[in-house]
A and B are shown apart, each in its own frame.
Chain A
Amino acid sequence: MKRGIVFDQQMIVFLLFAVIFIAFSLFLPGFFSIGNVVTLLRTESVLGILGLGMAVVVIGRGIDLSMIALLTVPTALVLSLAGAGYGLGLSLLAGLGVAAAVAVLNGILVAYAEIPSLFATLAVGIGLAGVGQSGLFEYDIVPWPKSLDTIAWLGRGDYWGIPYSVFAFAAAAVVVGTFMLKTRPGLFIYAIGDNPGAARIAGISVRPMMIFQYVISAIISVFAGLVLAASANNMDTRIFNLTWIYDVILVVVLGGVGLSGGRGGALNVVVGTLLIGTIINGMTIMNISYEVQNLIKGVVLLIAISLDSVINPRNEETAQQGDI
């Protein structure tokens, strides 16, 4: 809180977003229209939702690399079970149950076995994806079954021109923002991220809280998975093998959630998502090739991380245990 609002990373990124947005609006025909801005938001809403889950863990001084596996496998399970005739409730419960169980495993490995979250969640994610790919589903691309059409609005259709997936992102941002800033567990996560030792001395049950933050990110992953699957009409479990997780880290770090924990919030993720969404949307309109788009995204991430370490310098206190 000591820095106020002037020129922290969130502000810099927001200004960067504003500059790019205005530049595109002026110089890129077709960019500035309500339709395109809605499309921009819709395209990035799943990424934004995932970013919110990642932010919770990063604020608590961890990282969750298993999020994409948690997005794909439990969601594909929900789709397959519903497709096989199990009811909506039972299928959802099974999917969320699997996700929560995996998250608890993540949490135990990090909080009790004290394995760095980078390695623990990477391994758990690979393991979960492996279970998913070793014949749990008939094909790796699971179609959206008719029986789930009652919740298909999550990713399809719009209300007054604004797609439901944008509402889903907004709702997730409000819920996560409120949880982090207005509830006791949320504030505990900030405390743990800022200084786990001090948090423990202050009487916070640090280890159970760490498990809890992974459960939150897992539940958010499944939510993002359902939005994605409803939108694309299938769940492509192969996306685990792609570079999505870097995009998630990109929006989180870019928005100004410090990787050393304790800093940032839901608003930072929204700002980071807006910037990346604007860049990708503009590049698609300009018909820039895939390789160059990746290059530009990589450079932006590099700049953001460099800025992060200049603006939030690591000192002896923050560079200790739990640092990634």
Chain B
Amino acid sequence: MRTRKSGIGRKMLKALATVASVTAVLASGAGKVLAQQSMDDPARAAYYQQFKGKRVVFVPVFMGLDLTEGWSRAMKLQSERLGYQYEVRNSNFNTAAGAQTLTSLISEKPDVIVVQNPDVTSYAKLLQKAEAAGIHVIQLNMKTNTLTYGFVGANVVQLGELQAEAVVKKCGPSTSGKVLILDGPPTSPFSAYMQYGYDNVLKKAPGITVVSRQSTGDYESAKAKSITQVVLQQHPDLCGVLGVWDNTDVGTAAAIKEAGKTGKVFVTTSGGGGAVSCKGLEDGSWDFYVSYDVPGQARDLTDLVSAALQDKEKVGTNKIVLYTPLISYTKDNVKEQSCWVLDNIH
């Protein structure tokens, strides 16, 4: 009995020991696995820490447009992710007010100024002063004639070339070759650089006659409409229009539609590629559209803002230009385009 009992006891002890040791091994192994799973990214804490207390100010030409609202939404969301302070100082299409804002910002010294320039010269000196004061200046889509830390936006010369090429292709020898050019404000980057792009292409196209080259003021659709009406009256065989911006060319298209010439006059325009651009292609307002892809620009912009906030070098050492890849929309490919609305911007 005793031996049997002790035999059983020994066996039990052995079994218990085995279980215990196996458990111990398993436990220690599992522990190792767990430890490998939870390891902090060593860059993370420092990354988020460096944005604390930083300040980014956006000085747009005008809020309330799909372009500016899109860019601003991207920066606002980024500021919430990274924890920097973001604000908008709207210059409301008033260059003097914008210059005033920049002047006061130079003394306030935010870390980054994102600025959309109303024309190619007005802010140039102020932007240089801001950089001299140690502020990173990122120019957005509308560029002065000087470079600062960064530029994000369309290559407007190329934009003009794309539009002009489309018109030249359409207005061949079998047509009148008559073209109307609509501008923005005369000194705006989107007039000056775009004209250069047009000229690059048009001077090599002998069949094309520019019958009128007019400014739509501050991109007024009503003015675009009245100019187009007058020109259509003088040249009923007008072949193409080189438009300036989708919101403006809603007026251009309205004039063409009223004259019963939709589809007969080839309208090209450009813009941020938002919902209005696709709607215009679908309803025949314009036939060719160059998009500078605001969601893409928004990503370029926020990346550059983040890089500027991490930049340890003296301001002015680096000058980074990020031209947006341009996308040509036509009636045939409009279904494949993003046609973004504000909710699509992240």
Residues 134-151 of A, flagged 1 when their CB comes within 8 A of B and 0 if not, give 000111110100000000
Centre residue among B93, B186, B226 by max chain A CB count within 10 A: B226
B222: chain A residues at CB < 8 Å are 46, 228, 231-232, 236, 239
The yes or no answer to B220 lying at the interface (CB within 8 A) is yes
A281: chain B residues at CB < 8 Å are 230
Complex Cα spacing A114 to B234, Å: 51
The prevalent SS among residues of B at the interface is helix
Complex Cα spacing A235 to B231, Å: 23
| Count, A-B residue pairs, CB within 8 A | 102
The yes or no answer to A238 lying at the interface (CB within 8 A) is yes
The size of the chain B interface, using a CB distance under 8 A, is 37
Complex Cα spacing A291 to B215, Å: 9
The yes or no answer to A61 lying at the interface (CB within 8 A) is no
The yes or no answer to B247 lying at the interface (CB within 8 A) is yes
A46: chain B residues at CB < 8 Å are 222
Known contacts A141-B247, A231-B225, A232-B254, A291 near B186 by CB under 8 Å: yes
Query: Which one of A18-26, A30-38, A78-86 is at the B interface?
Result: A30-38
B234: chain A residues at CB < 8 Å are 30, 36, 285
Known contacts A156-B258, A238-B64, A43 near B214 by CB under 8 Å: no
Known contacts A133-B63, A236-B220, A43 near B226 by CB under 8 Å: yes
Q: Which residue of A lies closest to B246 (CB)?
A: A141
Residues 119-159 of A, flagged 1 when their CB comes within 8 A of B and 0 if not, give 00000000000000100011111010000000000001100
Which A284-314 residues have a C-beta within 8 angstroms of B?
284-285, 287, 289-291
The 8 closest A-B pairs by CB, nearest first: A140-B64, A290-B215, A43-B226, A241-B93, A30-B234, A233-B254, A232-B221, A232-B251
Please list the residues of chain A having a beta carbon within 8 angstroms of any beta carbon in chain B: 30, 33, 35-36, 39-40, 42-43, 46, 133, 137-141, 143, 156-157, 163, 228, 231-234, 236-239, 241-242, 281, 284-285, 287, 289-291
Other A-B contacts than A43-B229, A228-B222, A231-B222, 18 sampled, CB-CB below 8 A, are A36-B230, A39-B226, A39-B229, A43-B230, A133-B92, A137-B64, A138-B342, A140-B63, A141-B64, A141-B250, A233-B253, A237-B64, A238-B218, A239-B220, A287-B212, A287-B213, A290-B215, A291-B186
